[in-house]
């Protein structure tokens, strides 16, 4: 019964991480399309100047890209961690016994978990400070504090994936 519950929870966690990844991809696509449109506007402006006309670029482009990129940056990590898709450099660890490799893996996963929790706390405090200061983007005038939320959610998901890998899989990949 407990094994079935664990597999069910792992499957749900993996599915949540995958949908979070899809959402990050959509946001990234918005950034790319906005960038393409803005570059095209600059190109058209160069051509239009020949004919004594102009084409303006997108107002607030830099604000949009900065705010969305701050969201996207952490959104890929939960899925990458669930897939163990991070880079590992083992100069001599592969010479150790499998037990020692597992101990090292759990150690590094634990260090990563501490780092992720610390970063999450700092991001939460930053969001509160941004809210209290009433910080807004320069051109668009959008409040900045809501754009902290995807990063915080990403760090929570990443922490949960790490906890599953440390405590349930003893350093292995999530199966769900």
Classify residue 97: in a domain, yes or no: yes
Task: Tell me the C-alpha distance between 65 and 51, whole Å.
Answer: 31
**What is the per-residue pLDDT across 83-96, written as a single tens digit (0 to 9) for each?**
887 666 666 767 77
Residue 172 pLDDT: 60
**What is the per-residue pLDDT across 41-54, written as a single tens digit (0 to 9) for each?**
989 989 988 898 98
Classify residue 75: in a domain, yes or no: yes
Task: Tell me the C-alpha distance between 124 and 92, whole Å.
Answer: 38
Task: Tell me the C-alpha distance between 94 and 105, whole Å.
Answer: 12
Classify residue 173: in a domain, yes or no: no
Decide if 135 contacts 66 (C-beta within 8 A). Answer: no
Classify residue 77: in a domain, yes or no: yes
pTM of the predicted protein model: 0.85
Task: Tell me the C-alpha distance between 6 and 172, whole Å.
Answer: 14
Residue 105 pLDDT: 85
Classify residue 175: in a domain, yes or no: no
Classify residue 176: in a domain, yes or no: no
Number of domains into which the chain is organized: 1
- Is residue 160 predicted with pLDDT exceeding 70? yes
Reduce the secondary structure of 6-19 to three states and give it as a string. Answer: HHHHHHHHHHHHHH
Residue 20 pLDDT: 96
Which percentage of the chain shows pLDDT scores above 90? 57
Task: Tell me the C-alpha distance between 40 and 113, whole Å.
Answer: 43
Minimum mean pLDDT range among 4-13, 43-52, 77-86, 91-100 = 91-100
Structure tokens at 93: 């660890």
Decide if 149 contacts 127 (C-beta within 8 A). Answer: yes
Classify residue 99: in a domain, yes or no: yes
**Full domain range(s) for residue 26:** 2-168
What rounded mean pLDDT belongs to the chain? 89
């Amino acid at each position: 019964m407990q094994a079935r519950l664990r597999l069910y929870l792992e499957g749900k966690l993996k599915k949540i991480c995958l949908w979070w990844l899809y959402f990050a991809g959509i946001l990234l696509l918005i950034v790319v399309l906005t960038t393409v449109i803005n570059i095209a506007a600059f190109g058209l402006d160069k051509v239009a100047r020949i004919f004594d006309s102009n084409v303006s670029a997108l107002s607030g482009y830099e604000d949009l890209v900065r705010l969305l990129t701050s969201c996207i940056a952490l959104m890929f990590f939960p899925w990458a961690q669930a897939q163990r898709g991070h880079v590992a450099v083992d100069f001599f660890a592969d010479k150790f016994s499998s037990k020692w490799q597992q101990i090292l893996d759990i150690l590094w996963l634990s260090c990563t978990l501490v780092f992720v929790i610390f970063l999450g706390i700092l991001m939460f405090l930053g969001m509160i400070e941004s809210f209290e200061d009433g910080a807004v983007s320069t051109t668009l005038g959008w409040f900045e504090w809501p754009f902290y939320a995807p990063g915080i959610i990403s760090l929570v998901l990443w922490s949960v994936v790490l906890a599953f890998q440390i405590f349930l899989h003893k350093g292995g990949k999530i199966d769900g």
